Amino acid sequence: MGGISRYIAQRLLLTIPMLLILLTLVFLILRVMPGDPVLAMLGGRNVSPELIEVYRHKMGVDRPIPVQYAEYLNGIIHGDFGKSFRTNKPVVWELFQRFPATLELAAFGLLFAALFGFTTGVLAATRADRPIDHAVRIFHVGSFAMPLFWLGLMLQVLFAVKLGWFPVASRLGGRIAFTFEPITGFYLLDSLIRGNGEVIADIAKHLVLPSITLGFALTGLLGRMTRASMLEVLDQDYVTTARAKGLKERVVILAHALRNALIPIVTVFGLQFAILMGGAVLTETVFSWPGVASFLVRSIEARDWPAIQGSIVFIAIFISIINLIVDVLYSVIDPRVRY
C-alpha cells in the first residue's frame, strides 16, 4: 500500500472512535435534557397517561438506557438511524432528501469565501502597510466577528425588501416551485441539465444572499491567512529571482507566490469547514432553506431524538470526509509532503 493510501486508511480508522465518542455524548445529553419527546410529539400535557405509555413503548424510550444505546449503535452500524418521531419516516431518508440543498449552499458559500478571501488577502499583502492594507485588515476582523443571523437579516432587508433584487427566502420562486421537477436534488445542476434559462436565473437568485451570508464568516479568516502567508512567501529568494528575470508582477504573484502560499491556507480552509456547517444552522433558519441544518433545528424543537442523533452523526461524517480530502489536496499542492 502506498504512502498516501496508508495515510487515508489510518485517517478512516481514527474517524471511527471520534464518531463513537460524538454519538455517545449526543445520546447521553439528549437523555438528561429536560423535555419529553412523547409529550412533544403528542402536542401537549393534556394527554392520558395510558396513551403516553403506549407511545413511549412504541418509540422505545421506556427501555433501559443501555438497551437503547446498544440498539442505536447496532442500527448505525447497519446504516439505520432510526425513524423520526416527528415525521415517522426513516432519518436516513430525511437526511438524504435535504443533503443536496445543504451541500449546494455550502459549495457556493465556500466559493464566495475563497474568491473574496483570497482576493482581499493578496490585495492586502501586495500593498502592505498602505491605507488599503489597513482597510482590508479591519474588514477581515469585522467579517469574522459579525453574527451570521444579523448579517442574513440585514441582507434580506436591503437587497430583498428595499431593493427587490433577490428573493427573501427558499430555494425557488412560488410559480416555478410548483412546476419544477428535480433530478438529482441539486437544483442548479438540475436546471442546467434541463436547459431552462428562467429556472436557472431563479435558482441563482435564491442562492446569492444565503451563500454570501454563509461564506462571510470564512472570508475574514481566509483573508488574514492569505495575507500572512503571502507576505512570508514574497520575501523568499525564488520570488526575488522571478522578478529579477523580468517576469510581470502578475505572473510572479499568481504563478510563483500564490501557489506556495496556498499550502497552509488549504489546511486551515478544511479545518474551518466545521464553522461553515455551524453557520449553516443559522443561515438555513434565516432563509428558510430546506437543508440538513434546518431539519436539525426543527428536530431539536420537537425533541426528536433519532433525528437529532442522526443529523449530528451525518454532519460529522461529512466534515470528516471533507477534512480527508483536504489532507490529500495538501500533498498534491506540496510535492514534498508524502504520508
Separation in Å, CA 272 to CA 21, 128, 320: 21, 26, 12
Residue predicted with more confidence, 225 or 240: 225
> Do residues 107 and 72 both lie within one domain?
no
Q: Note down the domain range covering 308.
A: 91-333
Residues 60 and 164 in one domain: no
Regarding whether 38 and 127 lie in a shared domain, the answer is no
CA–CA distances in Å: residue 191 to residues 181, 206, 300: 9, 13, 33
Count of CB atoms situated within 10 Å of the CB of 100: 20
Asked if residue 5 is part of any domain, the answer here is no
- The mean per-residue pLDDT over the stretch 154-171 comes to 89
Say yes or no: 100 and 214 in one domain: yes
Q: Are residues 148 and 191 in the same domain?
A: yes
Looking at the structure, tell me whether residues 139 and 229 fall in a common domain: yes
Q: Residue 154's pLDDT is what?
A: 92
64 with 141, same domain?
A: no
All three cell numbers of 237, joined, read 529568494
CB atoms within 10 A of CB 174: 8
In a domain, 3, yes or no: no
Q: Which residues make Cβ contacts (< 8 Å) with residue 161, sequence separation at least 6?
A: 168
pLDDT category, 40, cuts 50, 70, 90? Answer: low
Confidence band (pLDDT; 50, 70, 90) for 159?
A: very high
**CA dihedral of residues 160, 166, 169, 172 (deg, nearest 10):** 150
* Predicted local confidence at residue 157, as pLDDT: 92
pLDDT tens for residues 100-140?
A: 888 888 888 888 888 888 888 888 887 877 888 888 888 88
Residues 61 and 105 in one domain: no
Q: How many domains does the chain have?
A: 2
Determine, yes or no, domain membership for 14: yes
Question: Does residue 34 sit in the same domain as residue 170?
Answer: no
**Can you say whether residue 140 is alpha, beta or left, with left for phi > 0 and alpha for psi between -120 and 50 degrees?**
alpha
Question: What whole-number distance in Å separates Cα of residue 158 and Cα of residue 144?
Answer: 21
Same domain, yes or no: 156 and 256? yes
Residue 82 within a domain:
no
Domain CATH number, residue 184 = 1.10.3720.10
Q: Are 288 and 169 within 8 A, CB to CB?
A: yes
pLDDT in tens, 227-259: 888 787 777 777 777 777 777 777 777 666 777
The residues with which 83 forms a beta bridge, in sequence order, are: 90
* Within-domain flag for 83: no
Spatial separation of the C-alpha atoms in residues 56 and 92, rounded to whole Å: 22
The full length of the chain comes to: 339
Q: Decide if 339 is inside a domain.
A: no
pLDDT tens, position by position, 269-286: 666 666 677 677 888 888
Residue 338 domain-assigned (yes or no): no
My answer on whether 70 and 114 are in the same domain is no
Q: Are residues 108 and 216 in the same domain?
A: yes
Q: 49, 77, 105: which is the final residue of a domain?
A: 77
Per-residue model confidence as pLDDT tens digits over 301-339 = 878 888 888 888 888 888 777 777 776 666 665 555 554
